[in-house]
Amino acid sequence: MSIKGRESMEQERVHFNLARLKKGGKNFEVAIDPDLAIQYRTGKPVDIREVIKSEKIFADVKKGLLAETTILPQIFGTADPLAIAAVLLKDGELQLTAEFRNKIQEDKLKKIIMLISRYAVDPKTKLPHPPLRIQNALDEAKVKVDAYKSAEEQLDGIVKKLQPILPIRIETKRIAVRIPPEFAGKAYPAIVRFAKPQNEVWNNDGSYQCVVDLPAGIEPDFYEHLNHLTHGGLQAKPVEKR
């Protein structure tokens, strides 16, 4: 989305969630479901019929004014409202209500705080920062969350902005794991929830071995959970990354 598009959303009082495009000197709009529109725009498999509120192309959604149907083919090469709506969603501006913008900003901020607490640690103590400390540092650094980028895309940049305020860095550890045979079946799903196993081996005695790359911030939780499932039978040790 263009900078101009984002500015217009911030400055204009929007009462409807819509996609808007000016083309051929005319204004074209379609009413949208905002969550699905963002998913559609970022390439997720969403049926456009679920994204738009009606299969009508408007000149002004707020006033209920429909676009002139006679000019649609010459401007868009088609009169099909679904095809035109796809162009509006892809190339136009997403005009979102203040209520929805606030919601996605809050949700994105919560996810970013969660990711920082999982993936980043204090370089001295090797321990994760609690969420409240991260929140306070974000406020002090005046970090602005981009509602149109995923939390994962923004993580590295935000951590860099926090570093002058908070001792922090993203760190992962490679751990070699062995689960005794009597607990292997039960422990495997738990390992997968924490990280993607690598170099997996199911031994003849029924035991299970693998290597996982863990965010340093969740390493203590990993050990605690697996030790609980295996009644202390977890065998784990750090290994060097190659």
Q: Please state the domain extents for the chain.
A: 3-95, 98-170, 172-238
Phi, psi of 27 (to 5 degrees): -100, 135
How far is the C-alpha of 116 from the C-alpha of 137, rounded, in Å?
A: 12
Q: Are 63 and 31 in contact, with CB atoms under 8 Å apart?
A: no
Amino acid type, 241: K
CA distances (Å), 125 to each of 122, 128, 169, 182, in order? 6, 8, 12, 35
The edge-to-edge listing of strands for the beta sheet with 18-23 is 65-66, 58-60, 26-31, 18-23, 93-95
Q: Is 176 exposed, middle or buried, given 0-12, 13-18 or 19+ CB atoms closer than 10 A?
A: middle
| pLDDT digit string (tens) for the chain, length 242 residues | 433 343 333 434 446 899 999 999 999 999 999 989 988 987 788 999 999 999 999 999 989 999 999 999 999 999 999 999 999 999 999 988 888 888 888 999 999 999 998 888 899 988 889 999 999 999 999 998 887 677 877 888 899 999 999 999 888 889 999 999 999 999 999 999 888 999 999 999 999 999 999 877 778 889 999 999 999 999 999 998 76
CA distances (Å), 138 to each of 15, 149, 186, 239, in order? 30, 17, 39, 33
Q: Is 59 exposed, middle or buried, given 0-12, 13-18 or 19+ CB atoms closer than 10 A?
A: middle
> Under CATH, to which class is 172-238 assigned?
alpha beta
In CATH, the architecture of 3-95 is 2-Layer Sandwich (3.30)
Please tell me the predicted confidence (pLDDT) of residue 195.
Answer: 86
How far is the C-alpha of 141 from the C-alpha of 137, rounded, in Å?
A: 6
Please tell me the predicted confidence (pLDDT) of residue 181.
Answer: 96
Of 225, 235, 239, the C-alpha closest to 194 is 225
DSSP assignments along 150-196, one per residue: -HHHHHHHHHHHHTTTS--EE-EEEEEEEE-HHHHHHHHHHHHHHS-
DSSP 115: H
Q: Which CATH superfamily is domain 98-170 in?
A: SBDS protein C-terminal domain, subdomain 1 (1.10.10.900)
Please tell me the predicted confidence (pLDDT) of residue 9.
Answer: 37
Please tell me the predicted confidence (pLDDT) of residue 206.
Answer: 96
CA dihedral for 135, 144, 103, 147, sign (positive or negative) = negative
